[in-house]
Amino acid sequence: MATTQECRGALNTLSDNLATANGDVRTAAALDRSLSCHITDLDVTFTGRLANGRIMVTDTAQGPPREKAQIRLAMTGDDLVSMVDGSLNFAKAWASGRVRLEASFRDLLRLRTLL
């Protein structure tokens, strides 16, 4: 089972990957939205912003998200680490229910290029 530190590291790696992306991925990541990522098996939530093509984590708290972010993710820590290292396909994990993504319809359309 992934630790809180490994999950935070995976989010940092994902942020770095988004920041260096090109084309459609860079455009999709250029949103400015509040973000939460609930790690269900650890019952920890990372909150922050997706802005300027980076994920900026500003808080880590026990339990589910306290406030409703504009983009909300929920998954196990192992799934987060696996998605970031490329061994788990986000679209398949989302379709099978392993990963939950909630956002406005407009944001989902824009984020689909990241999937």
pLDDT, one tens digit per residue, over 43-89 is 999 999 999 888 999 999 999 999 999 999 999 999 999 999 999 99
Average pLDDT of the chain?
Answer: 91
Q: What is the pLDDT of residue 20?
A: 85
Reported pTM: 0.91
Token pair in block for residue 3: 């630790």
Cα torsion 22, 25, 30, 35: sign:
negative
Residue whose pair of structure tokens reads 């696996």 in the numeric block: 82
Token pair for residue 105? Answer: 């319809």
Angle at 111 between CA 115 and CA 36, to 5 degrees: 95
